[in-house]
Structure 1
Amino acid sequence: MLDWAELDPEKLERVAQLLVREACGATSVDGKGGDLAQDLRHDGPDGLTIYEVKSFTKRLNNSRQRQITKSLARAVELHAPRRWVLVIPLNPTPAELAWFDGLRGKFPDVELDWYGLDWLDGQIAGRDGLLSYVEGADSKLLRRAQQYNMERAALTSGADLTQRMQDLVELGATISPYWKWHFGDTPWGPGRILTAQRPEAADDDPVQLTPYFSFPPDDPEAQATAERLDRALRLGGDVDIPGRYVEDFRVTAASEATQRLLGEPRQQVAQLRLISIPDNTGLPLRGFLVLERGGGQSGLSVPFTFTDGVAGTHGRTLTGTDPSGLLEARLEIEAGDPVRGRMELNLKPLAGSYPHDVLPAVRLLGVCTAGDSLHFRRGPVTIASFNADAPAPEGLPGLHHLVAALEVLQDHLGTLIPVPAGPVPDEDFRELLAIARALSGRRARLPHTGLSMDLQPGAIGEFLTKVPEEPGALYGTQHSIDITLDGRRYDVPGLALWAPNVVLQNRAELEVLSADARAEAVATFSSPEDTGIFLIRAVDDPGPAYRRVVEMT
């Protein structure tokens, strides 16, 4: 049983408050600025109850009785409670009980109760955490535990291990009534997580982490780390500090029990990570990222939603994504006059995503260049504006062309075509762009200036009669063109070759071979470099601008 008389008065009152709060559902009143004669209060359906805690462990002499009476009178004057309860580590003597009955006569409108030693002992019985908190490192519980060396006992099964771990965790929760360690996996590996055991832990028994940093001025990495730390503290964020820059790290608790749980105040750290507490006030914030060029709207915009926020001493940082989840933005807003801001955009890897999902974001970034401006708008209202201070990253314009071409191709084929996981070979990339351009209704110039076609035996003479000797346009359809992306082959129908100015180069050779009905041959066409050969969308009627070569259809 707890010896209440040995306790420091402040700790005695603190423990008594904890017991009343848990047993009666009362709320503690912080008395640092004067508690107005109410250590705890409970507003119930039957009215207000005021609890007055006194640390008197010796008999109530005239002076102590006057203090109690004064507290009761002030509580009645200020709060008019229906019930007033004295909480004190004393059971009343007959004389003290008579005196307390006399108070009932002086305050007939208030129900008076005495929660004495029996009530307190009954509430704390079996509360090892509170006993450890009150008695400190020399508590009976800890002295008993030190007599055993159970952690060295042999383990014979997984069940023994599980039970031992569970028992140790339960015992660990008795070290402090406010806090405990939770052991588990974290994003950074196995770790201990300090967890509150009661909602008021942070207020009643705060834990303070105090790092001291040293950033040598002649160390560029140290200065960069210091800048990241300063930005995270001012605007919120997430920053890693290597241990070599942490000169000292102290972990202190308000109570001695929690300090025993935490260990020595000064601790060594190999790395320190500071993460701001989320502040999602006003979120989600939905709008559009709009690109402007030369003072006029470009017509390019992307739906965007800021979903998460953190706050610092001088501002706030918001993060969010576009609907695909692949375009991420970090918006820093710094308080001041005027308000200043900075936005960073990041495009995650696109492999496996579908072009129609990511094209709006890729197009916006791919065409953005230094001097353009980006605006975040909600309807007609501009929330924030930023100037692009650099051109699009290297490779992003090419990625834009790739994704745009894939969208055209998948729309034409009526099938989903994911963005390839690896780089597309240059030849395949050029062919894909040509196919997409042709399917979009524009002609795509091919990299060569000649065409050839196989002529079957017996067909050479008929072929020569259909091909004029003078240069002219040539139109030839193909059943399909195939292209391979990420190891998968796609057959693309509906395309044709068109050359506005070609001539049959080997006519003389073909005329000689035409006399032999069994001869096979290859017809070769050439085109001047200034005219070229193009891939276009096939048409039902080429019209007078084309000369159809029957054998090429």
Structure 2
Amino acid sequence: MHEGSIDWKHIAEDDFNRVVEALLMRKYHHPPKSTVEVIDGRGGDGGIDVAVYVEDKIKEIFQLKHFPEGFSGGFRDSRRKQIKKSFDTAWTNHKPPLWTLVVPSNPTVQEGKHISGLSKGKTVKATIWGIARLDSELAYHPDLLSAATRNPLLEALRTIGQEPAALVDSSDLSKRAIELHKLAAGRSLYWDVDFQVSAHGVTEIYRAKDPRAEELEPLGFNFTLKTNTFGLKQDIQRVLDFGARRHLTIPGAAVEGFNAVGPEWFQKDGAIERLEIRAADQLPADQQISVTLEFLDEDGYTRSSHQGMMHAKSVGGRGVAFLAKFYGMLELDAEIPNAISEPGRFDLSIAFAHSRVSDAQETLQLLGDFESGCVLQVLFEERKFIKGLAAGNSQQSDQSMELVDRSMELLVEDLGVLEKKLNAKFRVPSEISHRKRAMLRVARLLMEGKATWMPPGTSLTGTLSGKSADGLRMLLSGGCAITTPIPAFVLKIQGSSFNLGPAVLYHPRTVVRDAAEVTVAFETGTAAGKEVVIDPQGEQLIWVMPGNNFKEGLPETVAWDLPGISMPSVEHKDLPPGPADL
């Protein structure tokens, strides 16, 4: 190789294979739309060196042949025989629509005809890539070309004359940084590097250009964790075993004896501020993979299933792992060991706030299924991936039960009932006051035809007509029991007002607030239109029943006992004895 371009005629076979493989990975590997598989080892490969898959089917096969002299003249018979054998094997085993020979030479006219003639009578197009096509493709990926032609000595000499240059123009710094980034990216066919410079030092971020980067050019770190870092040690071990789905930060203060190992351009040692192991970018929405959790009955039939989307995945030394989200609120972090005898691990996390009530209900059902002890089957894109027992009585069951407290379960349950009764859609609130929470339960009970009690602090408000009545005079003179039919019991929830229908309110002892002022208003003839507030006395709550028909007796009265919300004691002696009392 020489500066700026690849000397294909004199390139070593290993270098030729590495460059072409990296180029094909960059050009065609765009999962899940298309993927590339590079076969390790020449010969014995079923007629494939590099295969391009589209929707899990081979779309094109590339056969790499290190024939810098071509396959004419003295090389004609032996090399054309090799090419035909590779083509015939590929066609027999895989029936690809496209088959391409890649060589480090430009084909002659006769060589081109020989390749196209291989496909005669077959539904395959055979083509050839030579120097011109390789140079053209590499021009779209200058970092690959730079890595393939890198000469550290020339780069150092070229840079020496530039660094002292003054940053005169406002764009000089950006230009210099961009050129430096290109230089850094050109050090490797497989790794790119981003960097940040601040008063605290330089931060380097390494990203794989090629999905095989860690295999073909491994990068690593050696260090010793100091004492009192048990939790950090566990986190690091999980990354080593199953890969990184989330960022992991290792503080420099927690390590000693740090050094980076790998190719020469990567090696370094000394103190560090921190080491971050970053997860791969989440899969774009159009590339996420459907995940189905099926819970099977004792006969092997599906008793329930839940569908989610995988948005991150990783691979480690012990197995694979993935992150999948269900119902937009429950995230499953699954670790699947390669060894069938080893147990897998499922970690769950939930964020109920602002989720749709229907999604929250499905999530609670999923948690219940995890606790059931049924056989769990995991499918990716409708294909079975793993099968085993759900949590049952294991540690996983304990975790899923702890994720949701009883108060959240009841809140979701109440909102679900109200959605159906009111033909509405609600979301789970991030927070809710005790009074509003109690009112949701009151509304549910009324909608179910039951009587209950209003929350503490509830008063009755009305507008005076100006005419005095016996009941009102009794209230003004010292208080009494009150029964108040109302034509519309209104529930205000998440910005909307719902009419639950007529209701009757009752309390055994109430008084008029500011009774003296109301009495004066009657005496002076100014009572009409005045608002009056009637307050219940003592700790007894106001009793409420749905409807206004008392002839068939009173409905069942149910307390709205809710976890974490105190309710004053209620006794049946404080209820109206019967319809006549109302």
TM-score (norm 1): 0.57
Does 2:315 correspond to 1:311?
yes
Identify the residue that residue 222 of structure 2 maps to in structure 1.
212
Match of 1:252 among 255, 262, 270: 262
Superposition deviation, residue 361 in structure 1: 2.0
State how far apart, in whole Å, the 2-side matches of 1:211 and 1:339 are: 28
**After the TM superposition, which residues 31-110 of structure 1 pair with which residues of structure 2 at under 5 Å, given as runs?**
51-52=66-67
1:480–1:491 CA contact under 8 A, matched in 2: no
Does 2:390 correspond to 1:385?
yes
Superposition deviation, residue 385 in structure 1: 0.8
State how far apart, in whole Å, the 2-side matches of 1:399 and 1:362 are: 10
Identify the residue that residue 331 of structure 2 maps to in structure 1.
328
2:67–2:104 CA contact under 8 A, matched in 1: yes
Once the two structures are superposed, what CA deviation does each residue of 1:365-397 show, in whole Å capped at 9, x if it has no partner? 5xx699764764579x97541132258448722
Once the two structures are superposed, what CA deviation does each residue of 1:222-273 show, in whole Å capped at 9, x if it has no partner? 22222222233333444443332363232422xxxxx44x4x4436541231
C-alpha change, 1:446 and 1:317, in structure 2 (3 Å) is same
For 1:285, give the aligned amino acid: V
Identify the residue that residue 292 of structure 2 maps to in structure 1.
286
C-alpha change, 1:453 and 1:544, in structure 2 (3 Å) is farther
State how far apart, in whole Å, the 1-side matches of 2:505 and 2:292 are: 48
State how far apart, in whole Å, the 2-side matches of 1:363 and 1:35 are: 51
2:335–2:344 CA contact under 8 A, matched in 1: yes
Once the two structures are superposed, what CA deviation does each residue of 1:336-363 show, in whole Å capped at 9, x if it has no partner? 564523322211151x333233233247
**Higher alpha-carbon deviation: 229-238 or 273-282:** 273-282
Identify the residue that residue 168 of structure 2 maps to in structure 1.
155
C-alpha change, 1:14 and 1:320, in structure 2 (3 Å) is closer
Identify the residue that residue 573 of structure 2 maps to in structure 1.
none
Superposition deviation, residue 490 in structure 1: 3.9
Q: Aligned pair count?
A: 441
Match of 1:137 among 113, 138, 152: 152
Identify the residue that residue 57 of structure 1 maps to in structure 2.
none
For 2:151, give the aligned amino acid: G
**After the TM superposition, which residues 351-430 of structure 1 pair with which residues of structure 2 at under 5 Å, given as runs?**
352-362=354-364, 373=373, 376=376, 384-387=389-392, 388-389=397-398, 392-393=401-402, 396-409=405-418, 411-412=420-421, 414-421=423-430, 423-430=431-438
* SS of 2:269 mapped into structure 1: coil
2:292–2:305 CA contact under 8 A, matched in 1: no
1:496–1:535 CA contact under 8 A, matched in 2: yes
For 2:391, give the aligned amino acid: F
1:449–1:528 CA contact under 8 A, matched in 2: no
Structure 1 unaligned spans of 5+: 55-67, 89-119, 254-258, 466-470, 507-513
State how far apart, in whole Å, the 1-side matches of 2:457 and 2:278 are: 63
Match of 2:345 among 310, 322, 342: 342
State how far apart, in whole Å, the 2-side matches of 1:370 and 1:23 are: 46
Alignment RMSD: 6.3
Identify the residue that residue 235 of structure 2 maps to in structure 1.
228
C-alpha change, 1:538 and 1:155, in structure 2 (3 Å) is farther
Once the two structures are superposed, what CA deviation does each residue of 1:53-88 show, in whole Å capped at 9, x if it has no partner? 69xxxxxxxxxxxxx98x988757766689x99989
1:475–1:496 CA contact under 8 A, matched in 2: no
State how far apart, in whole Å, the 2-side matches of 1:23 and 1:522 are: 81
* SS of 2:349 mapped into structure 1: strand
Superposition deviation, residue 124 in structure 1: 12
Max Rg structure = 1
State how far apart, in whole Å, the 1-side matches of 2:194 and 2:173 are: 17
For 2:351, give the aligned amino acid: K
Identify the residue that residue 276 of structure 2 maps to in structure 1.
272
Match of 2:503 among 496, 499, 502: 496
**After the TM superposition, which residues 454-465 of structure 1 pair with which residues of structure 2 at under 5 Å, given as runs?**
459-461=468-470
For 1:543, give the aligned amino acid: E
Match of 1:477 among 485, 492, 511: 485
C-alpha change, 1:148 and 1:128, in structure 2 (3 Å) is farther
C-alpha change, 1:274 and 1:229, in structure 2 (3 Å) is farther
1:306–1:318 CA contact under 8 A, matched in 2: no
For 2:292, give the aligned amino acid: R
Identify the residue that residue 62 of structure 1 maps to in structure 2.
none
State how far apart, in whole Å, the 2-side matches of 1:144 and 1:154 are: 18
State how far apart, in whole Å, the 2-side matches of 1:538 and 1:286 are: 46
State how far apart, in whole Å, the 1-side matches of 2:366 and 2:289 are: 24
**Higher alpha-carbon deviation: 130-139 or 399-408:** 130-139
Once the two structures are superposed, what CA deviation does each residue of 1:479-536 show, in whole Å capped at 9, x if it has no partner? 44556667x574644252366xx86899xxxxxxx9xx9699999999998xx86433
State how far apart, in whole Å, the 2-side matches of 1:214 and 1:22 are: 34
For 2:222, give the aligned amino acid: Y
For 2:306, give the aligned amino acid: P
Q: Percent identity?
A: 15
C-alpha change, 1:345 and 1:375, in structure 2 (3 Å) is farther
State how far apart, in whole Å, the 1-side matches of 2:259 and 2:146 are: 30
State how far apart, in whole Å, the 2-side matches of 1:349 and 1:403 are: 10
* SS of 1:333 mapped into structure 2: strand
* SS of 2:415 mapped into structure 1: helix
C-alpha change, 1:442 and 1:429, in structure 2 (3 Å) is same
State how far apart, in whole Å, the 1-side matches of 2:102 and 2:338 are: 49
Identify the residue that residue 146 of structure 1 maps to in structure 2.
160
Match of 1:441 among 449, 466, 475: 449
For 1:329, give the aligned amino acid: L
